């Protein structure tokens, strides 16, 4: 169903027996269907220009009063000091809960706190080390797939290639050898996440959840399928008596340090799906944007190749080698500055909060637009220029911690941060020495916000064997 048709035909009840069309409702809200179209295309386009130049702004976004916070000190107050005064935004939870239930990403309060306490040790950097062999195996499989393509196979879209690699990694990390159909699982996840922009727009417009939208039915089927597969994995492992040093085994064995309680069956299913949803697309996009930026900056690519040659690969045997890839890490950080895979942090004030001179009343939406923060004119010199030297250790250490937030901050900082960075390093160091990627189009694709930040039209690239 096209947007025009959808807005004209979707009927909303206003009183007994009376309905109006969605188009009329949008007009009531003072937003033409064009605003909804913009938001569905990319929320970044719906942001006012001031988010790139002002410390804080208050504005209306699709009929909702919204505060955007871009000043690092105020962001710290918000995400750290006032973390207890914030809630998840309904538009995020309603979009994600049908598939992800009430796991780490979609819950609040005590429910969130207990799950976070219980699962945090599983993601400690020393535990992540144990997952490096699975990462290296998946990266090598991608490299072999690329090297074995027929000579005349031409260009491919790098986005699905990296999605497949990152999905293989998270599934191998979670449940290696469980016979899961990764391609089918990935397609269901894609079907689910692909329709979430509609759900978010509906919540912001105050539209009911039952109102149909494009992709809605397939999204529901995908959620059912994903939950059934995850429950199958949990039950099969339980039937074998649990155990295992993979993510699922560690989660089954995890106990809340405060209460001694294990995660319930529903919490295990919710969080397995949450880790796949939160942890594969984000990593895949970080890698996609990084590889494209490297193809556009051969001098930077050369420095990475020299570093990899110096450090050597063989990460499966010696995961500590990843620590020596310091310049490669800087490149990934700079790529995530320009193209943060999670471009927006959203919260709702559960009670009133003071941010500097601004009093934010209870109930107000508060956004940290990470994409804009990372290109903010008051915070970054040449904000749109790719320059990994910005992340040289001394320069990065002198920067305000809250000016750079690819993984968020405060108690809800990304739990998979260390896993994600290790994955990026292993994949880059495995692929780059063997394969050179050449962009098919000279211009960088437009970045579009669809929960994550994706290149519009994909990332067509031509892979070529790199001469030794």
**Which residues here bind ligand HEM, judged by CB under 6 A?**
104-105, 116, 170, 274-275, 278-279, 282-283, 286, 341-342, 345, 406-408, 412, 414-416, 419-420
Q: From the CB of 453, what's the least distance to ligand HEM, in Å?
A: 9
Q: From the CB of 182, what's the least distance to ligand HEM, in Å?
A: 15
Beta carbon nearer to ligand HEM, 155 or 417: 417
Instruction: Work out whether strand 64-69 and strand 365-368 pair parallel, antiparallel, or are unpaired.
Output: parallel
Find tokens 């990332």 and name the residue. 459
Query: What is the sign, positive or negative, of the torsion defined by CA atoms of 323, 328, 331, 335?
Result: negative
Beta carbon nearer to ligand HEM, 170 or 229: 170
CA distance 120 to 253: 13
Beta carbon nearer to ligand HEM, 160 or 216: 160
Tell me how many helices (H) and strands (E) the chain has. 18, 14
CA distance 372 to 345: 11
Among 463, 422, 413, smallest CA distance to 440 is for 463
Q: From the CB of 117, what's the least distance to ligand HEM, in Å?
A: 10
Beta carbon nearer to ligand HEM, 105 or 353: 105
Contacts of 460 by beta carbon, 8 Å cutoff, 6+ apart: 155, 156, 157, 158, 439, 440, 441
Q: From the CB of 336, what's the least distance to ligand HEM, in Å?
A: 6
Beta carbon nearer to ligand HEM, 111 or 116: 116
CA distance 150 to 329: 32
Query: What element of type H or E holds 21?
Result: strand 18-21
Beta carbon nearer to ligand HEM, 98 or 279: 279
Find tokens 């809200």 and name the residue. 29
Residue 136 burial by Cβ neighbours in a 10 Å radius (0-12, 13-18, 19+) = buried
Q: From the CB of 309, what's the least distance to ligand HEM, in Å?
A: 25
Beta carbon nearer to ligand HEM, 69 or 415: 415
DSSP-assigned letter for residue 86: E
Q: From the CB of 466, what's the least distance to ligand HEM, in Å?
A: 25
Q: From the CB of 140, what's the least distance to ligand HEM, in Å?
A: 19
Give the residue at shortest CB distance from ligand HEM: 416
For 245, list phi and psi in degrees, rounded to 5: -100, 10
């Amino acid at each position: 169903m096209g947007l025009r048709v959808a807005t004209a035909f979707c009927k909303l009840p206003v009183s007994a027996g009376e309905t109006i069309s969605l188009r009329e409702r949008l007009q009531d809200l003072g937003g033409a269907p064009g605003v909804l179209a913009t938001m569905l295309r990319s929320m970044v386009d719906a942001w006012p220009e001031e988010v790139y130049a002002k410390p804080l702004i208050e504005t209306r976004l699709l009929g909702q009063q919204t505060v955007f916070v871009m000043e690092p000190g105020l962001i710290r107050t918000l995400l750290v000091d006032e973390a207890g005064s914030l809630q998840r935004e309904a538009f995020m939870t309603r979009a994600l809960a049908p598939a992800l239930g009430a796991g780490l990403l979609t819950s609040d309060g005590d429910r969130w706190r207990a799950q976070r306490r219980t699962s945090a040790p599983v993601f400690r950097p020393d535990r992540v080390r144990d997952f490096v062999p699975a990462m290296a195996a998946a990266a090598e499989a991608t490299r072999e797939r690329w090297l074995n393509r027929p000579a005349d196979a031409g260009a491919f879209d790098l986005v699905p290639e990296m999605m497949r690699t990152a999905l293989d990694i998270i599934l191998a990390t979670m449940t290696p050898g469980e016979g899961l159909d990764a391609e089918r699982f990935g397609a269901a996840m894609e079907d689910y996440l692909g329709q979430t922009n509609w759900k978010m727009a509906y919540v912001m417009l105050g539209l009911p959840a039952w109102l149909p939208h494009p992709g809605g039915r397939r999204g529901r089927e995908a959620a059912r399928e994903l939950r059934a597969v995850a429950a199958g994995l949990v039950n099969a492992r339980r039937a074998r008596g649990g155990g295992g040093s993979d993510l699922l085994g560690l989660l089954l064995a995890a106990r809340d340090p405060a209460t001694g309680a294990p995660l319930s069956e529903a919490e295990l299913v919710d969080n397995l799906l949450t880790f796949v949803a939160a942890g594969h697309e984000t990593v895949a996009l970080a890698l996609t944007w990084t590889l494209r930026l490297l193809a556009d900056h051969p001098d930077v690519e050369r420095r990475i190749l020299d570093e990899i040659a110096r450090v050597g690969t063989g990460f499966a045997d010696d995961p500590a080698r990843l620590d020596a890839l310091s310049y490669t890490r800087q490149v990934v950080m700079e790529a995530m500055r320009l193209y943060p895979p999670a471009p927006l942090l959203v919260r709702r004030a559960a009670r009133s909060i003071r941010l500097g001179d601004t009093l934010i009343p209870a109930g107000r939406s508060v956004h940290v637009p990470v994409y804009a923060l990372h290109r903010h004119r008051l915070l970054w010199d040449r904000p749109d220029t790719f320059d990994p030297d910005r992340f040289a250790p001394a320069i990065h250490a002198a920067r305000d911690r809250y000016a750079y937030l690819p993984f968020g901050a405060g108690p809800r900082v990304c739990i998979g941060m260390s896993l994600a960075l290790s994955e990026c390093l292993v994949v880059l160091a495995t692929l780059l020495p063997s394969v050179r990627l050449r962009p098919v189009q000279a211009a960088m694709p437009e970045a579009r916000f669809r929960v994550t930040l994706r290149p519009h039209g994909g990332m067509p690239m031509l892979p070529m064997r790199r001469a030794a």
